A and B are shown apart, each in its own frame.
Chain A
C-alpha cells in the first residue's frame, strides 16, 4: 500500500471508531447516552478530516496521480472525490444529529451497543464507495453498506414489521449488489481489468452490459421505480433516525455514485441522462400519488421520498442529457435540501412515535396541543418539501424550473410538467398532514390520556430537530452560500468525472 493516506483517513477513523465504540461499550458497560457522545466524537473527528479534504480539493483535483492503494494490475485504488466529500460532509453532519437524537430515542432499547458501531460502519462503506476506483472493492464496500444498513433497519428485531423490513432491505439490496457482481464479470471479461481510474476508450458490448448491470444495481438501491418496492416497508418500519439517514442520505447518494461508475464503463452521458429523466417521471408520479392514501406517517414520508428521488433524478438527468454542468449543480443543491428536510421529517415522526406511541395519521390529529413545537417542526419540514417559499425546498424548486426551462427542449419541458403535476399532487398530501396536527382530535383523550399540559420532549431529540428546522429556514431565506458551495463542488467534480 502506498500513496496519500489522508484519502482513506476518514474511512479508517470510522471503521476503527466502530470497533472502539463497541469494545468500550461492551467492556465498560457504557450507557446509551455515553455511547452516543463517543460516537458523536468520532463523527466530529471524521467531519474535521473531511473538511480538511474539502479545503485541499482544489489542489488534489489538479493532481490526478494523488491516490492511496496499489497501482499495479489488480491493485485497489482510492482517490478523493469532490462529490463524495461533499455528500459525506452533509451525511456526517446528519449522522451527528441522528446520533444525538438516538441518545434518547434508544433509551428504551437494550441493544444500543451495536447500533452506534453499525451507524459508523455504514458511513465508512458509503465514503468508501465514493473513493474506491476498483470495481470489486466497490462491490465489497456496497455490501458493507447494505449489511450494516439492513441490521439497522431490523434493529428492533422483536417487532415483526422491523424484521420483515430488514429482510426485505437485505434481499433487495443484495439483489442489487449481485447484479453489480454480474456487471463486474462482464466488465472483466471485456477488459481484463476491474479498475475504474480512467474511462474505457472503446467499450465493447460486454462492458456496456456490465455498466447496465451497475446502473440497475444502483437504481435498486436508490429506489428508482419500478425497483422501489422495498422503500415503503423499510423506511416505514426502521427506527426513525435510520429512516432519515436512509431516505435523506444513503439511497439518494447512489444517484451520485451511479454516473462515476457507469460513465467510465461505456454508458454515454446522453444515455444516462435520458434514463434518469424518463424514470424520474415514474418516481415523481408514483411517489406523489401513493403518498396520498397512507395511514402511517412514516409510510407517507416514504412515498414522498420516492417522489423526491424522482426530483433529484430529473435534475441530474438534465445535467447529463444536455451536458449542462450547472444543472448537475442543481442536483447537488437538491440533494442537500432534501437531506435536511427529509431527515427532519423522519426525526419529527420518530418523536411522535416515541412519545405518543403512534404513527397513525388519524390518531395524530390534534397532536399540536400536546407537542406544539414538534407540530411546528414537522410543518416546516412538510412545507419545505412542498416547496413553499422562504423554505429550502422552494429554492430547489426554483432551480429545477430554471434548469428545465434553460434547456428549452421538449423532453425537459414534458418532465417539468410531470414535476409540476407531482408537486401539486404532493401538496394534497402535505397540507392535510400539516392541518391534521392542528385539528381537534377525533377521539379526545386518546393521545396522552389524562395529560393536559404539553409533553416535555427530551432535548436530545429536540435539538437535532430544531437545528434541521432552522437550517430549512436559513437555506430558504439565504441560499447564496449554499448555491456557491454546490457550484464549487460541481466544478471540481466535472474535472474528475
Chain B
C-alpha cells in the first residue's frame, strides 16, 4: 500500500476520533465542542484536497483492509472523481452548519453529544461516498439516517418531532431495505462485497435481474432524494429539525440519493439496461419539480416552503440523470453542488428570520427589507440563485440539464414541460422573498437587527455562491471526470 493511500481512511477515522473526544469530554462548553467538531471535520476536507494530485495522476485512490474475511467483506474505501464532488460538498455543508450552530441556541445543552452526532451524520455521508464495499456502504448509509434521527429527536423543536422522526426513519429505512436487497443480491451472486469487482462483473447478470435491481435501486435512492411521491417524510422532518441539521439534511443528505443512483445502477449496468428507465426517470423528475414547487407556493410555514423547494430541486437532478446524456448528467452533478450552496444559504436566511421574528408563518412576518438590509441582499441572491438566474450557479446546471433533455431525444415535450415548470420556482421564490422582506409589516415581529453570529456565515455562503457561479469550469471538469466512471467508461 502506497503512503498516500494510508491517509485516505483519515477522512472517516479522524472524525471518529473527534466523536470519541466529544463523548468523553462531558463538561465541554458549546464553543469547545464546536472547536473539536470543526477541527475533526476539517480533516475530511483537507485530506481529499491533499489527495487531488494523486487523483489527477491515478484516477482513483484506494484503501482496503480485511474486515469480515470469512464473508469476503473488507473495509475498503475509494476516492474517485465521482465521490470527491459529493464528499467535498457534504463536508463543506457540515462545516458551515457547525459554524452556523455557534450563533444559535441549538446544542447549548449536551453540546458534546450534539457535535458528536453532527460528526457522525457527516461521517455517514463521507463513508457513503467513499465505500468500495457494499456492506460498508450500507453501514454508512444507515449511520447517516440514524445520526440525523437522533439529532432531530434530541435537539428538534416541539412534541411533533418524535412522530416526525419516526416517520422519517421508517420511510427512509424502507427505501434502504430495497437498496439492501440489491446489495445482497450482488454479494450473493458474485461472492464478493467489493464494489470495484462488482462493477466489473455485474454486466454478466441475467437481464431480468439487472432490471429488477435497477428498479429497486432507483426507488430506494429516490426515497432518500425525497422524489414525489416518496417525499412524505421530508417536510415534517425538515420543519422539526434544528436549523443546522435542516441545512445538512436539505443541502447534503438528499443528494446522497443521487450519488447512490450514479454509484450503483449507473456504474454497474450498461446504458442499454438503463435506457428503458430514462423516460420514467424524467417523468418522475418533472413530477417532483412541479409538485414541490406548487407545494412551496401553497405553504404558509417558512421552513416548509424551503423544504418543498428541495423536493422540486431534487426533481431537476433526477431529470438530469434520466436524460442519460453527458450534458444532462453533468448538469445533475453540478446541480447537486449548486443546490447545496443555495439551499444552505436559504435555510440560513430562514434561520435568522425565525430567530429574530419568532414567527413561523410567512404571513406573520413582513417588511423585513428595511430593518435587515444585509439579510435582504443575501436572501435576494439566494432566491435568484434557486430560480436559476444567470450568472448564479444553478443557471449553469439547469442549462446543462435542459440541454441534456433535448440531446437525449427521449422526449422533447418532457424537457419543454420541465423548462416551463421551472417558472414555478421563480414564482414561489419571489413570493417567499416578496412577502417576507417587502410584504405588509407586522409591528409585533419587526426585529432590530440580525444576530451577527448567524449573519457572518450567511454572508460567507452568499459570496461563495456568487463566486462559484462565475467559475463553473473546475466543477464541470470534476463532474465530467466523475461521469467517466459510469456505464463502463461510456463517457470517457
User: Which residues of A line the B interface, CB within 8 A?
Assistant: 388-390, 394, 398, 401-402, 405-406, 420, 423-424, 427-428, 431-432, 435, 438-439, 478-480, 483-484, 487
Specify the chain B residue showing the minimal Cβ separation from A440.
B159
Q: Is B1 an interface residue (CB 8 A)?
A: no
State whether the Cβ of B380 lies closer than 8 Å to any Cβ in chain A: no
In the assembled complex, the CB of A119 is this many whole angstroms from the nearest CB of chain B, namely 35
Q: Are A420 and B177 in contact (CB-based, < 8 A)?
A: yes
Contact A401 B68 (CB under 8 A): no
One of B71, B139, B177, B185 near A390 (C-beta < 8 A):
B139
Q: Which residues of chain A have C-beta atoms less than 8 A from B68's C-beta?
A: 478-480, 483
Complex Cα spacing A398 to B137, Å: 13
Q: How far is the CA of A388 from the CA of B166 in the complex (A)?
A: 14
User: Which secondary structure characterizes the binding site on chain B?
Assistant: helix
Q: When the two chains form their complex, are residues A402 and B166 in contact, meaning their CB atoms are under 8 A apart?
A: no
Q: Which residue of B lies closest to A424 (CB)?
A: B174
Taking CB atoms and an 8 Å cut-off, the chain B residues in 155-204 that contact chain A are: 162, 165-166, 169-170, 173-174, 177, 180-181, 184-185, 187-188
| B139 and A402 contact, CB distance less than 8 A | no
Interface contact tally, CB-CB below 8 A = 60
Taking the closest CB of chain B, its distance from the CB of A288, in whole angstroms, is 13
Chain A residues with CB under 8 Å of B180's CB are 401
The main secondary structure of chain A at its interface with chain B is: helix
Report chain B residues within 8 Å CB of A478: 67-68
| Complexed CA–CA distance, A437 and B173 (Å) | 22
Are B181 and A389 closer than 8 Å at their CB atoms?
Answer: no
Q: Which residues of A contact B170 (CB under 8 A)?
A: 424, 427-428, 431
Across the interface, name the chain B residue whose C-beta is closest to A406. B188
Q: How large is the interface on B (under 10, 10 to 19, 20 to 34, 35 or more residues)?
A: 20 to 34
Provide the residues of chain A in CB contact with B138, threshold 8 Å. 389
Contact A424 B70 (CB under 8 A): no
Q: Determine whether the beta carbon of A401 is less than 8 Å from that of B181.
A: yes
A to B CB contacts below 8 Å, 18 in the list: A389-B143, A398-B135, A398-B184, A401-B181, A401-B184, A402-B184, A402-B187, A405-B184, A405-B188, A420-B177, A427-B170, A428-B166, A432-B162, A438-B153, A478-B68, A480-B67, A483-B68, A487-B70
| Interface contact B143-A405, CB-CB below 8 Å | no
CA–CA, A483 and B135, complex, Å: 15
Determine if B146 is an interface residue (Cβ-Cβ < 8 Å): yes
Is B236 interfacial (CB-CB < 8 Å)? no
Contact A484 to B184, CB < 8 A, known contacts A420-B177, A435-B165: no
In angstroms, Cα B153 to Cα A480, docked, is 33
CB-defined contacts of B177 to chain A, threshold 8 Å: 420, 423-424
Q: Which residues of A contact B173 (CB under 8 A)?
A: 424, 427
Give the residues in chain B near A394, CB-CB below 8 Å. 139
A200 to B86, CA, bound (A): 63
* A405 close to B142 (CB less than 8 A): no
B488 interface residue (CB < 8 Å to A) = no
- In whole Å, how far is A408's beta carbon from the nearest beta carbon of chain B? 8
Q: Which residue of A lies closest to B209 (CB)?
A: A408
CB–CB B162/A483 < 8 A = no
Q: How far is A310 from B142 in the complex, measured between Cα atoms in Å?
A: 24
**Distance A394 CA – B183 CA, assembled complex (angstroms):** 14
Are A389 and B139 neighbours in the complex by a CB distance under 8 Å?
Answer: yes
A405 is contacted by which of B139, B146, B153, B181 (Cβ under 8 Å)?
B181
